[in-house]
Amino acid sequence: MSTAIEKTDVLVVGSGFGGAIAAYHLAAGGAKVTVLERGPWLKSNDFEHDYKLGSSYTRAFDFVVGDGMSVLGGNCVGGGSVVYFAAMPRAPRFVFDRRGSIGRRMWPASVSRDTLDPWYDRLEESLSVTKQDWSDVSYAGGLWAAACDHAGRTANPLAVAIDNSKCVNCNWMMAGCRFEAKQSLTVNYLPAALAHGAEIRPLHEVQHLTRTSEGNYRIHFDIIHEEDYRLRNGSGVIEAKIVVLAAGAAATPVILQRSETHLGTMPHAVGRYFSGNGERLNTAIINEEKAAEILGLSRGDGPAYAANQIGKGPTVASWDKLDGSLPEYSRYSLEQLYFPPGLGTILAQAPDATGPTWFGRDKKEILKNWKSWLTIFSMTEDDNEGVFGPPPATGNAHRISQQMLGRGNLSYKPTRNTWHGWNQADAEVKEILEKDGLAKVMPWTNDLVGAYTVHPLASCRMGDDPRTSALDDRNELRGHSGIFVTDGSAVPGALTVNPAMTIAALAERAVPGIVQAARHRGVPVTYGAPTPTGYKSGTKVDLPLLRTPAGV
């Protein structure tokens, strides 16, 4: 006797920005929504202030080492929103006209800063995004601003999704917020989705999709062991009329690659054109005497600075090079960032080392002064040169350790254009922070894990040209109606700023089209719910005016 297949209206894969936003609106509109999340469900009091193996830190992260590129992302209910730094700038206007490696505009004609601004507005309401005052920034952010001013540059406090009335400046926000000050999706969209009947299932890792004779999709998943992610506690299948893939730019293309033998040919761009958001990190070793002398800093008794770990994550950025008149690959932002112990200490290089720069005697010496470090995060314009190879048997990577660490199938060979952007940003950071002997600066090493990104993008990107984009301008997978992609993999290329706001805005923008496709497939769903916080002044979309999906 055959077992009945479980059914739902909409199956959402992943619960980060792309997944949670879709889940909320579709559930609020009356659809039966099921969310499968491969990571655990961690509550605020589960976030531990340590970096021990087996703690919330290793449970909530996914670190995949590829060939030339390593990706650090979220692996828990709430996805990247749990482990992000809550920096929420809008993408600069010039980003939407980027040509990149294909030599013509990458973004769909229907998407520009003007057309995306209403969706940015909605997100600012949903996530209570505000621009910080100078009184809100961390001491490290203030030092970066003072150094920029000393070197003739400008700097600005960042727009963030943080409730400063709850923030205790513990600077553990990258490992989840115990105090619910950071506006992770676990405190807004996901609770709102649950309130409207959505079901969220943690530790469910989607492996591939198949299609039924009626045109619906079956989602095949494994149930992951709670402590050892290399182990499985069973498997299952759910049938859905609509699938929203939001597993992240390092996992969504792998799921689709593995599904190709079942669904048929995938668009050429699935698993290609990956972007690491052009990211680069530099560590400066601040000269405490110079910080007092040149910048006039003082903390009373003792060192002038020595506050690397105090405060929030990124609070101040220099945007002088976010100038659309500059040539492509010459535009970037420079952002003060606190990167916690772990990769930040391993990959930092010792300036003026006489031997190896990322280990050895000289590295040991700078580790003694880690409180006097200042980390600067560059987001540049890369060439979308990442390509995913054949998918592993299960998951998005071959799991090496019990939690967090895996070996992936991503290959990334930086082009001359990408190196040009990195080199310019490195030189700018050095010029600012080494002026008059304020600090010694070195970029993080690429020797150990290749390039690195915490903001993977573009591996299933949207666009107008089927030859270079996997999705149409409605986020629907070309040739596979009813499958939508709403995570960072849909973003066409590097943004030169933190991408969370843009990923979320594109997800909001995609929802009306997903609702319309669901209606066409017989799901009684509407669109028009207020933001999760109850505000009703956000974008109102009249569904009949939307372009009809292919095949309708």
Cα dist. 156→149, 181, 316, 318, 320 in Å? 11, 21, 5, 6, 10
Q: Cα separation of 221 and 237, whole Å?
A: 6
Rounded to 5 degrees, φ, ψ at 123 are -65, -35
Cα dist. 36→119, 177, 253, 448, 455 in Å? 26, 22, 16, 33, 21
Query: Residue 2: its pLDDT value, please?
Result: 54
pLDDT in tens, the chain (552 residues): 456 899 999 999 999 999 999 999 999 999 999 999 999 999 999 999 988 888 898 999 999 999 999 999 999 999 999 999 999 999 999 999 999 999 999 999 999 999 999 999 999 999 999 999 999 999 999 999 999 999 999 999 999 999 989 999 999 989 899 999 999 999 999 999 999 999 999 999 999 999 999 999 999 999 999 999 999 999 999 999 999 999 999 999 999 999 999 999 999 999 999 999 999 999 999 999 999 999 999 888 889 999 999 998 899 999 999 999 999 999 999 999 998 888 889 999 999 999 999 999 999 999 999 999 999 999 999 999 999 999 999 999 999 999 999 999 999 999 999 999 999 999 999 999 999 999 999 999 999 999 999 999 999 999 999 999 999 999 999 999 999 999 999 999 999 999 999 999 999 999 999 999 999 999 999 999 998 875 544 444 444 333 333 332
Residue 383 lies in a domain: yes
> Does this model's pTM top 0.85?
yes
Tokens read off for 387: 């390509």
Q: Cα separation of 23 and 178, whole Å?
A: 24
Cα dist. 107→19, 65, 96, 538 in Å? 21, 28, 6, 24
Pairing status of strand 130-131 against strand 398-399: unpaired
CATH number of the domain to which 18 belongs: 3.50.50.60
Judge contact between 11 and 27, C-beta under 8 A: no
CA angle centred on 357, ends 355 and 359, rounded to 5°: 95
Query: Residue 536: its pLDDT value, please?
Result: 44
Query: Residue 540: its pLDDT value, please?
Result: 42
Domain count, the chain: 1
Query: Residue 341: its pLDDT value, please?
Result: 80
Q: Where are the beta strands (DSSP E) in 173-225?
A: 199-201, 204-211, 217-224
Tokens read off for 549: 């999906």
Query: Residue 3: its pLDDT value, please?
Result: 67
Q: Cα separation of 503 and 18, whole Å?
A: 7
Measured torsion, CA atoms of residues 176, 95, 378, 146, in degrees rounded to the nearest 10: -90
Residue 427 lies in a domain: yes
Q: Cα separation of 110 and 96, whole Å?
A: 10
* Structural domain boundaries, residue 500: 6-539
Residue 547 lies in a domain: no
Q: Which residues pair with 210 in a beta bridge?
A: 218
Residue 549 lies in a domain: no
Nearest to 387 by CA among 88, 105, 68: 68
